[in-house]
């Protein structure tokens, strides 16, 4: 297959660090966070993550999140297409967000052979790893076939795990039933959740946040040897650093600590922690 100029477009739930977005010329379409009677683009500019998470406990009403308008998606997709032979659009799961549909509508006026739309099936840097590895393969090969094959291998060799410090924000957001959230809060149960294949599932429950950190370390270690690792937090840098320290030599050179995007953090709340692993086996 001949070499092509291939570019990626993704959404802001990807959590890819700004320097890597710039390095690979990745376009990002923002989701939106609504609170205080205003709507803010989740673009790292309109919302300061640290300030936002500090404010959340005192907010009178639960913030909400929204997908970008198809018109905004269309604008950014068309701009990216001006400098590419082919676009690969990778989004948050259609089962969890309207983002995928916004991308679908936004790309609908492009010729079908000019783009590939992918539901990542996961969140945060689980989505981000698919885009970053795909971008690496673009640089190496310029082959659409090889890029798509690499993304498929990444999907089969990654995990996204997270634990909320409190069930309150999941309860408010409606992501879990009120009764279940109340019972968990009463018993001080911390669920470890996994985001894979377009589903959010509880895979373990522990009684304390300390035990939750131990479980995240165990889960990350089970995926070793690791090619890449991300430690996620919502204004809980100390907790993320503790996970990294406990992993020791298991943590690969390419390890990032990221204050999670508000489009995700809105639903899991301040102090939440997470790990995103990518096994060396993807290669």
In a domain? residue 218: yes
* In a shared domain, residues 183 and 124: no
Asked if residue 2 has pLDDT above 50, the reply is: yes
Distance of alpha carbon 92 from alpha carbon 121, whole angstroms: 7
* In a shared domain, residues 195 and 108: no
In a domain? residue 40: no
Distance of alpha carbon 132 from alpha carbon 88, whole angstroms: 12
Distance of alpha carbon 258 from alpha carbon 129, whole angstroms: 13
Residue 47 neighbours by CB under 8 Å, 6+ apart: 33, 40, 41, 262
Average of per-residue pLDDT values in the chain = 90
In a domain? residue 44: no
Closest-CA residue to 216 (of 200, 228, 232, 227): 232
* In a shared domain, residues 137 and 209: no
* In a shared domain, residues 183 and 265: yes
In a domain? residue 262: yes
* In a shared domain, residues 20 and 133: yes
**Range(s) of the domain holding residue 101:** 6-31+67-155
* Total number of domains constituting the chain: 2
In a domain? residue 207: yes
* pTM (two decimals): 0.91
Most confident of 148-162, 177-191, 196-210: 148-162
pLDDT tens-digit series, residues 27-79: 999 999 999 999 999 998 899 999 999 999 999 888 999 999 999 999 999 99
DSSP assignments along 110-129, one per residue: S-GGGEEEEE-SS-HHHHHH
């Amino acid at each position: 297959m001949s070499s092509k100029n291939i570019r990626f477009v993704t959404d802001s739930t990807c959590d890819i660090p700004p320097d890597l977005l710039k390095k690979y010329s990745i376009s990002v379409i923002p989701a939106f966070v609504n609170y205080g009677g205003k709507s803010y683009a989740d673009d790292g500019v309109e919302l300061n993550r640290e300030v936002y998470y500090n404010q959340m406990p005192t907010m009178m009403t639960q913030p909400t999140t929204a997908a970008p308008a198809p018109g905004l998606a269309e604008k950014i997709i068309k701009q990216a297409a001006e400098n590419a032979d082919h676009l690969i659009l990778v989004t948050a799961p259609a089962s969890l967000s309207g983002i995928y549909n916004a991308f679908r509508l936004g790309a609908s006026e492009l010729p079908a052979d000019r783009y590939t739309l992918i539901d990542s099936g996961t969140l945060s840097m689980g989505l981000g790893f698919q885009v970053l590895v795909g971008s690496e393969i673009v640089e190496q090969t310029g082959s659409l076939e090889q890029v798509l094959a690499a993304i498929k291998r990444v999907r089969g060799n990654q995990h996204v795990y997270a634990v909320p410090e409190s069930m309150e924000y999941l309860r408010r957001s409606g992501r879990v039933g009120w009764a279940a959230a109340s019972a968990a809060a009463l018993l001080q149960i911390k669920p470890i959740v996994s985001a894979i294949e377009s589903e959010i599932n509880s895979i373990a429950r522990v009684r304390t946040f300390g035990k939750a950190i131990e479980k995240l370390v165990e889960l990350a270690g089970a995926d070793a040897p690791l090619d890449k690792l991300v430690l996620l937090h919502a204004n809980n840098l100390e907790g993320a650093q503790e996970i990294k320290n406990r992993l020791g030599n298991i943590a690969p050179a390419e390890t990032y600590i990221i204050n999670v995007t508000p489009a995700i953090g809105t639903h899991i709340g301040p102090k939440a922690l997470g790990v995103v692993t990518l096994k060396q086996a993807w290669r």
